[in-house]
Structure 1
């Protein structure tokens, strides 16, 4: 990678964006551009245009997004589709307008059909109905993939545009959102088990049946994969991906049930009460396991185990979670 490139990381205060900055810095990258939401509202086209005209970065990591778990997606569908569509449309278009050649868009495994064959391969995209609870978010993320592919298709030769997309599995780790209602499953479980331990509660209730299977990837592994993919030679990347379906899955390679996950989190937190399941709450998709063989063929594999990752995540929660994620 060229350590002298000016690199803009959109969403640098989030879990993924902050991990990408750590990964870049580990590789000697020092010319990193960031903006807080207060400094730059990425849903404001005029503001984004002005930013790109001033900064003119060489690379863009588009990690900014409105994200959340099942409850948040169910409760705020309009916000999820609108904000994500606006962010990605503004950033991708304005990056192209000022001549940014390299951009990496971060999507989500929810882009795949609810009943996609497992493990899910990249070519499962748009082959079936989406999971109802997060369909608006998924549609927005699919639009981001297609934006990248469309700009490549129209401007790849004439402007040497090279915009890529990665689809991470469920992520967790430092700087996660520990909100009691709007967080993803691992940070929600960490907070719930910790509070139950402190209160000496006899039981913790988990949404759903506990039977759905999910795959989890530590966020620093994800960031490492992002930097790896961004800096692959264009010919190598193009040889492994299809022109009209050029996104790449980023997963750990194994999945577990939500019940097994809850037990693992309880063990890390050292909560010794009962774990109960509220089957009146939605489960979401029955299984979501990514096929990451394409990424593996491009020279990258996950390194951090779930047990090690959960231990690190709980340490982060004890230091930052209670004070920063009320």
Structure 2
């Protein structure tokens, strides 16, 4: 969201550059959660996840096309659905579906690599090198759609690497830090150093795009490091809050978890509600307007999901068993 309000909520491009890690972090977490779900539910999770994702995406596309065109043309609607371009962030749907489908193969490779034996670390290295090669090959030689942010490449493009990282780090993320406060403070300091070197001093410009990807500008290997630092800060921070058992902080964590569980809806609909909000409150970007638009971009999708769930439950309750 922070990236999508560039030149609207803020004009300092250092803020914009500092947020390039966000999608990478989201995909790392998604890879981790997919590994957890697949471990518990197996292939049924993949089928259900893809069907839910495509249904939600299709509804979002209908709403976007209707809002922008003020009418629904079947041919236009179908074109936008199969090209994932009704809204800029929709590129991720195509990426995410591919990553979900690839997950069983990737998890199988990781399980094979983790088999105990003398060649355990050799197998892990082989899997990592295979993932890097596939990312490079797909970025260099495949382009199914002209989508932004590496969305058009097969196999998820560069995002396959971050998905792999999430699955690879599963055992680490399941582990609770012995000294979460120390880990939190250390990584906050490291992140501040990272920001100073790569953003304020602009050394980030000397690092090339990952795998030479021309579909995405800005993201490079240093952003991968930044994503890991933020991940460690979030993980250790949550563990610190849990250890304190403070009611206020627990509420904060619950709110964050609520937003996290509904990230898909916020991701799909926040630009739609941003456009609606800008028409409801036109004019200069005073603090109140920014606060209103920010709240609308989060609460709007959450309300939409609540209505969808309510309608779905009502249909299920009256349908014959």
- TM-score, with length taken from structure 1: 0.28
User: Which protein is richer in strand relative to its size?
Assistant: 1
- TM-score, with length taken from structure 2: 0.29
User: Which protein is richer in helix relative to its size?
Assistant: 2
